[in-house]
A and B are shown apart, each in its own frame.
Chain A
Amino acid sequence: MIPPEILLIIINFAIGLIITISLNIEVGLLNIPQFGRLLAVIIGAIVAAAVPGRILAVMLGYPWGVEYADHMYNFKIVAGINKVLANNPLLSIGIFILTLIIAALLGGLIGYLCAYPAIRLKLAYLGITLLAFGDLVVTIAWNYEPLVGGTTGVFVIDPFVFTGPAMRFTIAAFITLIVALALYVYAELLVRSPYGRMLKAIRDSEIAAGIYGKDIVKAKKQILIIGGAMAAVAGALWALFTGSMKAVTYTRLQWTFWPWAFMMLGGVGNNLGIFIGVLIYTIVRFLIIVYKGVISTIVGVSPEWLEYILVGLLIIIIVLFRPQGLLPEKPTYSIPTRKIVSIIKRVEEEGGK
């Protein structure tokens, strides 16, 4: 049996990893100032809260319209659905995968819409526009009750319920971790592919890449779609894991700025660095939570505020002293290093003749 503390680290790490990787694809590979990561994340969470529950409600004959998100009915409907899901693993797995697919599709759509400003605006303007769009969606989800219950929030159906109460959180956390690792591998393959090298070329010099006939607009669109889809999957996984969805808990700080801090700590453009950055930060944050009492008696202030100060200082120190992060981005080779060394040797020998 895995202790709940470890599970907490695993789930936070997995969600943080997906979001930061998705951020890195956009920022690290294409230099898009994505200050609206929250946008795609909350879209994913809204999908998880609003869509699979309604599909099952239709199938099982529960009300699925406005009543579904009403706090008077929602918990009854979700409890009823969960009872059915508990005896039906196949349906649970199916609905879990379907949720992730819908979340990814809608997240991709959001990315596509973000491409409209992204190919027209630069740096600060784009960053602020994306940030504002994120806040707008939170405002809508918070106030428009038929969507996800507005201020009262809604319960999310539980596709892991069939594993039984003892194992539910363990299995849910590990499935989330597996999805995160799969997306990590995907991101790493993307970086190493010819396509990834093209993105880096565009990032380093749009003009030069353009001269060589690379379609910059298309690349930006594709990357925003991929990044949005990944972030939405993370949002959906988080909502499914926690079992509830309340728009106001999706803050700019936690879902945009924290991942930015992870990314800068690990190394912009380097997936392995980000893996380490997220891991370090998740563990440190966990330790702060565990030793809350001890810290507050020593320092004399609430550890919650101490966390803000520490993260703020961390960001400042990284930007000032190590802007490339803990693990700086390394050039990725399309062929093994051995081969490159042998080619260099051969060229040198030929040059010597």
Chain B
Amino acid sequence: MLDLIVKAVAYSSCIGIGAAAIALIYSATKTFNFAHASLVSWGMYVMFAGTYLLGYTPYLYIPFTILVGAALGLVIYGGVNRWLLKAKASEINLMMSTLGADLVLFGFLNIYSDYLLQTYKIPAKYFVLEVKDVVFKIGNVNIRLIGIIAPLILVTIVILLHMFLTKTKIGIAMRASIENPDLASVSGVNIDLTYVLAWLIGGGLATLSGGLLSLIVTGYTAAGMTMIVSFFAGAIVGGLYSIFGSLLGGLLVGLSEFLGITLLASIAGGWIYAYRPAIPLAALAITLLLKPEGLAGFFVKVRE
């Protein structure tokens, strides 16, 4: 039971980080980021390539996942999003543009994975980095290090983001421009810079969640696409406009996916495991029907 809980906590921390990334980009730029899927997969492949090609422990490559994601986020912003925001494109067009970016990233990731497979003969189609993780024993139970590292990183992100958004000048400016872009720009806030920061941090967090997930689930190029519903559900359960609400929402969705299905299986039988993808959907449906403003609605009064 303990190992299951540890794994559930690790998994849901990753979903939480990813959901926060979606919420950050959405609240800052009104862009629902479909490219999140491929960013997550890219994070997985950074960890994989580093571990297999250079050796050492996978944890060494966590900073690199963030760097790669931030760079990709910057490319998406500079290449696509910036011009659409300037042209005041509709929300659907903003979404579609990130879908295009997602397909491009997916294509390049697959080319990279083919390259890894052919050149270095490493299993780049499907990989399980879990075996490279550090295992230690608590009593009779084997615990993997990711069960501690992932929540730790989550807490660090919460603290850092909170400090950034409340204590630094640029963070406060960012919050202001999220609340009211026109007013913020009149007061001299560089809106463009806040967009850049949103994509930098959002991209970095997306790949970070992917990198951490590669130590929990099987990695493959379409892994991000498969899991994207969990991330989206987390972001919407959290409220989509609130970064920390979405982080919490992601945690909740991840936990209910892992523990909820175990609970259901103990009641209904093992056949129900196959329907695990239905749980984020149920969370999504319940939230949208009962409390559309999400978890954030419990803490923050949304002004019309």
Contact = CB atoms under 8 A, between A and B. Distances in A.
Nearest to B35: A312
A89 interface: no
Given A117-B288, A140-B275, A309-B108, A260 B103 contact: no
Contact of B103 (A123, A302, A309): A309
Contacts of A27: 92
Interface in B96-138: 96-97, 99-108, 110-111, 114
Contact of B99 (A120, A257, A309): A257
Interface residues of B, number: 42
Interface stretch (A47-55, A67-75, A207-215, A313-321): A313-321
A128 B80 contact: no
Contacts of B89: 319, 323
Interface in A189-223: none
A237 interface: no
B22 to A, nearest CB: 10
Contacts of A252: 225
B48 interface: no
Contact of A131 (B84, B97, B107, B232): B232
Contacts of A140: 275, 278
A9 interface: no
Contacts of A267: none
A124 B240 CA distance: 10
Interface in B253-301: 274-275, 277-278, 280-281, 284-285, 288, 292
A153 to B, nearest CB: 16
A329 to B, nearest CB: 14
A128 B281 contact: no
A131 B96 contact: no
Given A132-B233, A135-B277, A316 B80 contact: yes
A55 to B, nearest CB: 28
Nearest to A122: B91
Contacts of B225: 252-253
A133 B285 CA distance: 9
Interface in B207-247: 225, 229, 232-233, 236, 240
Contact of B100 (A131, A142, A301, A312): A312
B45 interface: no
Nearest to A117: B288
A152 interface: no
Contacts of B95: 33, 124, 127
Contacts of B232: 128, 131-132
Contact of B92 (A120, A123, A306): A123
B276 to A, nearest CB: 8
B83 interface: yes
A308 B111 CA distance: 11
Nearest to A308: B107
B93 interface: yes
A304 B225 CA distance: 17
B100 A316 contact: yes
A265 to B, nearest CB: 11
B236 to A, nearest CB: 6
Contacts of A244: none
A305 B107 contact: yes
Contacts of A316: 79-80, 97, 100-101, 104
Contacts of B278: 136, 139-140
A132 B240 contact: no
B32 interface: yes
Contacts of A305: 106-108, 110-111, 114
A132 B240 CA distance: 16
A163 interface: no
A132 B284 CA distance: 9
Most A CB contacts (10 A, CB to CB) among B89, B100, B277 go to B100
Nearest to A150: B274
A117 B99 CA distance: 23
Nearest to B83: A320
Top-10 shortest CB links A-B: A312-B103, A315-B100, A308-B107, A309-B107, A312-B104, A143-B274, A316-B100, A124-B32, A305-B110, A305-B107
Interface of B: 26, 32, 79-80, 83-84, 89, 91-93, 95-97, 99-108, 110-111, 114, 225, 229, 232-233, 236, 240, 274-275, 277-278, 280-281, 284-285, 288, 292
Interface of A: 27, 31, 33, 117, 120-121, 123-125, 127-129, 131-133, 135-136, 139-140, 142-143, 252-253, 257, 260, 264, 301-302, 304-309, 311-316, 319-320, 323
Given A132-B232, A136-B278, 13 more contacts: A33-B92, A121-B288, A125-B288, A127-B32, A133-B281, A135-B281, A139-B278, A302-B110, A309-B107, A313-B100, A313-B104, A316-B101, A316-B104
